[in-house]
Amino acid sequence: MSKTMQLTFIFSLLVLLLVVAMMSGLIQSDRWRITQLEVAAEYNRITPEQLRLMVAKTPERSFFRLDAEQVKSNIESMPWVRYAHVVKQWPETLRITIKEHQAIAIWNGNDLLNQSGEVFQVDAVDHLNALPRLYGLNKDSAETLDNFTRFNQLLKPVGHEIRQARVNERGDWQLILRNGLEVLLGSEKHEARILLLAETWDQLLQTANRLPERVDLRYSNGYVVRWREQEEVTDKKMSFETRDVG
């Protein structure tokens, strides 16, 4: 008998003995019990008590009978859990690793975006008002978050972060900064248009006594600014012939 055949025979025998032991009652729920729980989690949005309740949904505690995949599924059903890794370690330990969602933005009013641009749901978002609000298509959530982050970086010279961003099916972007300024970007050359605003921001402020209400960047050689003066809305075209922002 070859070595490979010997190993195969030994493995088959062990499997047979395990089946026989289970059928004869040697392996039962009250034997070989899991008594230790090791958890690696940050506990920012979930609590140890909530986790224990999820683990308890799987009442089986025998090392051989406990379904680790079911425990994993129960934990991942928690709103703030991004993923869980559950393994059994002989002879009595259940090891759980949990990664939570990190909320980056409120998405379409009711959902949230995590650090990878994935959409996830929680019970309520009202207590997360400090987060920016993004509106767009679910299939484009990651790309929308990437653009939002890049636009925020480009707008640093303006001195105000984006409070709300909306992109429609045509790719038209509308931004509202935290100081209330509305910025219309259109559907193309977003970076060039934002750079134009950032580079001319100080010059723009010198033309009025207050911050503009709206900046429309959808022009080939400049932008249109709207601000309020003595209760009247005034529009003024700012032209910069040296740059074509198309």
Rounded mean pLDDT of 39-47?
Answer: 94
Within a domain: residue 50?
yes
Q: Under a CB-based contact definition with an 8 Å cutoff, are residues 131 and 106 in contact?
A: yes
Domain count, the chain: 2
β-bridge partners, 184: 174, 216
Residue 126 and residue 205 in one domain: yes
Alpha-carbon distance 101 to 13, whole Å? 46
Q: Which residues are CB-neighbours of 155 under 8 A, at least 6 positions away?
A: 161, 162, 175, 177, 194, 197, 198
Residue 147 and residue 70 in one domain: no
Q: Which residues are CB-neighbours of 66 under 8 A, at least 6 positions away?
A: 34, 58, 60, 88, 94
DSSP run (H or E) holding 18: helix 3-23
32 secondary structure, DSSP code: S
Give 92-144 pLDDT, tens digit per residue: 999 999 999 999 999 999 999 999 999 999 999 989 999 999 999 999 999 99
Residue 83 and residue 114 in one domain: no
Give the pTM.
0.78
Residue 112 and residue 83 in one domain: no
Give 59-95 pLDDT, tens digit per residue: 888 888 899 999 999 999 999 999 999 999 988 999 9
